[in-house]
Structure 1
Amino acid sequence: MSGSLHLRSVDVGYGAEPLIAGIDLELTGGQCVALIGVNGGGKSTLLNAIAGLRPPMAGEVLLQGVDVARMSSAERARQVSVVFTGRPRAGLLDVRTIVGLGRQPWTGHFGGLNEGDESVIEEAMRIMDVHHLGARSLQRLSDGEAQRVMIARALAQDTPLLLLDEPMAFLDLVNRVRLLRTLRDLARDRGKLIILSTHDLQTALDLCDRVLLIHDRRLWSGTVDEARASGVLGSVFADEGIHFDKATGSFRPR
């Protein structure tokens, strides 16, 4: 199933003042989308609102044409999977069991895994290159390995929309590029809509299809080429000591 996301006049934030206001956005599947902006600008808050984990201050978030606020938790889990930054508490569960938990929306808490479920789990572990870690507990993994395991669990959930909050935070450059290429190919090959927040601006511009950029409590949306040509990247990060060179399409310190 191809992903579909529609935000109508959405405000997100905490308290009385929105971090981002007046969001009108429509995205379809087959895209890997980078969500960027300065720290504290509302990236994680927006992802939580899209996932239905925190209600927007105003407006509607529609997944596959249905208001996420009207979905049960089980329905949401079949539509959107989320990977947050940080190592979850998983006790002594081994990697394969953790990835298998991604199938719960389809099997129920006490449902057994059938041959199809096992195949989905195997493929998710292969895609994220964690198959060789299957018998190890999450506690014994590096931060980067643990992050790949949690992404594999989200892939096993097999939803049309995948949200990732700083998925490259614990990865070196080679593995950041490898992960983003994998996510981009998944989006294009399977019609998924993948949205990831990141501070790795250059890698995102090089490999993502579209950019969502938070600036002055507004959300700008466009293709990577539009972002490079518009000058919006330079204006957002001008106060952060970073210059965006439109001629080369790259960032550099001032």
Structure 2
Amino acid sequence: MNIETEIKSILKTHQLDIGYANKLIAKNISVEINTGNLIAVIGVNGSGKSTLLKTLTGDLSPKKGEIYLQQKNITELNTAQLSHFISVVLTDTQFSHNLNVEELVALGRQPYTNWLGQLSKNDKLEINKALQLLEIEEKSLSKCSDLSDGQLQKVLLARAIAQNTPLIFLDEPTTHLDLYHKIFVFKLLKKLTRQTEKAIVFATHEINLALQLCDQIILVNKGEIIQKTPEELIKSNLLQELFPKDLVAFDASSKSFRVL
């Protein structure tokens, strides 16, 4: 991202409480997502990461408080309008594996096509731009069923880029990937935020990588949700309290968790 680019708020919460059914997960949440930021949502299993993401994307109604997308209250936006602000990449995304890469990426243009689903010249430009950005042009005619997990993750990201929203949410984008490809995806996400100025928010268990590569961390822990830079989070000592201390501990000097 150009250092002269004005940093703008895309999403901001006000006194937000989240939960589902009769269960309250966290309250009085204050988070802000700005252009060009890579933000990881971390926490132990069952802490509420998915509930937070579902609430921020409009899939789950807040228990209390407001969510603003570029100064617009999310409750005032219908599904079609919301799709112009937010794109979502899920680990269990359902699609026909008979589609080729270009066809799957083209699904990102659905919010802009007519009722026949016809692609305009601009739609095709956005699709090609996304394929180029993810460096998968040579795979454009390949069947999605023939792709590796890592390649498929790039295609799903390209679909989100083609949707051309200022904000992208991902749920566990490195699931099923080996260490090399986990790092590859993290660095790819970082590059995309810099090249497109979009904000990318993703839930992850790869805390060590998130601390090294993300601009901001949202920590979900014991009913509290806190947003800080990696450096601020490390200095706060909150990571030392994240897991039971019998097997793992956080080492501030190496900025990583280690086995005891």
> Structure 2-normalised TM-score?
0.90
Q: 1:2 to 1:107 in 2, by over 3 A?
A: farther
Cα offset for 1:79?
0.2
Aligned letter for 2:32?
E
CA distance in 2, matches of 1:231, 1:212: 14
Aligned letter for 2:187?
R
Which residue is equivalent to 1:104?
Answer: 110
CA distance in 2, matches of 1:226, 1:9: 22
Q: Which of 203, 218, 221 is the aligned partner of 2:227?
A: 221
Structure 1 unaligned blocks of 5 or more? none
1:27-66 equivalences under 5 Å are 27-66=33-72
Cα offset for 1:39?
0.7
Which residue is equivalent to 2:141?
Answer: 135
2:256 is equivalent to residue 250 of structure 1: yes
Verify the 8 A CA contact 1:128 1:152 in the aligned structure 2: yes
Secondary structure at 2:219's aligned position in 1? strand
User: 216-225 or 19-28, which moves further after superposition?
Assistant: 19-28
User: 89-98 or 237-246, which moves further after superposition?
Assistant: 237-246
CA distance in 1, matches of 2:178, 2:134: 15
Which residue is equivalent to 2:121?
Answer: 115
Verify the 8 A CA contact 2:35 2:166 in the aligned structure 1: yes
2:193 is equivalent to residue 179 of structure 1: no
Cα offset for 1:240?
7.4
CA distance in 2, matches of 1:201, 1:20: 21
Secondary structure at 1:30's aligned position in 2? coil
Which residue is equivalent to 2:196?
Answer: 190
CA distance in 1, matches of 2:155, 2:176: 13
2:17 is equivalent to residue 24 of structure 1: no
Q: Which of 197, 200, 225 is the aligned partner of 2:206?
A: 200
CA distance in 2, matches of 1:116, 1:240: 56
Which residue is equivalent to 1:86?
Answer: 92
User: 212-221 or 127-136, which moves further after superposition?
Assistant: 127-136
1:104-140 Cα deviation digits (max 9, x unpaired): 2122342432333222212212333433332233233
Verify the 8 A CA contact 1:2 1:160 in the aligned structure 2: no
Cα offset for 1:217?
0.8
Aligned letter for 1:60?
E
CA distance in 1, matches of 2:188, 2:147: 21
Aligned letter for 2:207?
L
Verify the 8 A CA contact 1:3 1:191 in the aligned structure 2: no
> Structure 1-normalised TM-score?
0.92
Q: What is the CA RMSD across the aligned residues, in angstroms?
A: 1.9
Verify the 8 A CA contact 2:9 2:32 in the aligned structure 1: no
Which residue is equivalent to 2:216?
Answer: 210
